[in-house]
Amino acid sequence: MKKLANIFLLAAALIISACEGPVGPPGLPGEDGYNFIGTVFEMENIDFNSGNGYSVIEDFPSNVTVYNSDVVLVYILWEQDNGLDVWRLMPQTVVLDEGVIQYNYDYTLENVRVFLEFTIPEEQLQAGETDNQIFRVAILPAEFASRKDVDINDINTVINAPNIQMKDLGTLDVKTNIMN
């Protein structure tokens, strides 16, 4: 009788473990395990003047590879608010009574160029608009930059986004690499 009970329990256990229930609702979308690696560096002490054609070129650091699919974003240090840096994604336009000033950039796979365009007379440009400008350059994989949960207009959101590892290269003084 004990043998029969043991066989019955074993059969019941096999039958119960072989049963499947209904498929549950799908879960939230997850990450595929890929960590996005971006690079951020600063360009400090940028002076725009007629001698450099209001344009400065900086080569990307030698330990950084920029791919065709990467996105390069440049932010300008716009102001400080209660001791906190306020960064704005370029291009940025300033409309004055005398005309317009625009801070802009372009890039290749080797370098980034920041430049100043304006419609006001050159002699009316103020030192605050041309001297000691600071820029932050972020090189990001396109998959990261196109995510809907990341506001690329805010450098802090980019740097602090989940699943991104930023390689901070620090500050580059580009006074030695000014375009003529």
> Could you tell me if residue 7 is inside a domain?
no
Is residue 171 one of the residues assigned to a domain? Answer: yes
Q: What is the reported pTM?
A: 0.70
Closest CA to 166 of 136, 135, 145, 138: 138
Give Cβ neighbours of residue 71 (< 8 Å, ≥ 6 apart).
Answer: 139, 140, 141, 142, 144, 145, 152
| Angle ∠(77,79,85) on CA atoms, nearest 5 | 65
Strands (E), 119-163: 133-141
Q: Is residue 90 part of a domain?
A: yes
Residue 43 lies in a domain: no
Q: What is the pLDDT of residue 170?
A: 56
Residue 34 within a domain: no
Whether 10 is in a domain gets the answer no
Domain count, the chain: 1
27 within a domain of the structure (yes/no)? no
pLDDT in the model for residue 160: 72
Among 75, 79, 85, residue whose Cα is nearest residue 42: 75
What pLDDT digit, counting tens, does each position of 89-138 carry?
A: 999 999 999 999 999 999 999 999 999 999 999 999 999 999 999 999 99
Phi, psi of 139 (to 5 degrees): -110, 115
Q: Which residue range forms the structural domain that includes residue 56?
A: 50-132+163-180
pLDDT of residue 180: 30
Please list, in sequence order, all residues whose beta carbon lies within 8 angstroms of the beta carbon of residue 98, skipping any fewer than 6 positions away.
120, 121, 124
The answer as to whether 89 is a domain residue is yes
Q: Are 87 and 76 in contact (CB under 8 A)?
A: yes
> What is the reported pLDDT for 148?
75
Among 150, 143, 138, residue whose Cα is nearest residue 34? 143
CA terminus-to-terminus distance, the chain = 100
3-state secondary structure of 71: strand
What parts of the chain have a pLDDT lower than 50? Answer: 28, 30-31, 33-34, 172-180
pLDDT of residue 20: 65
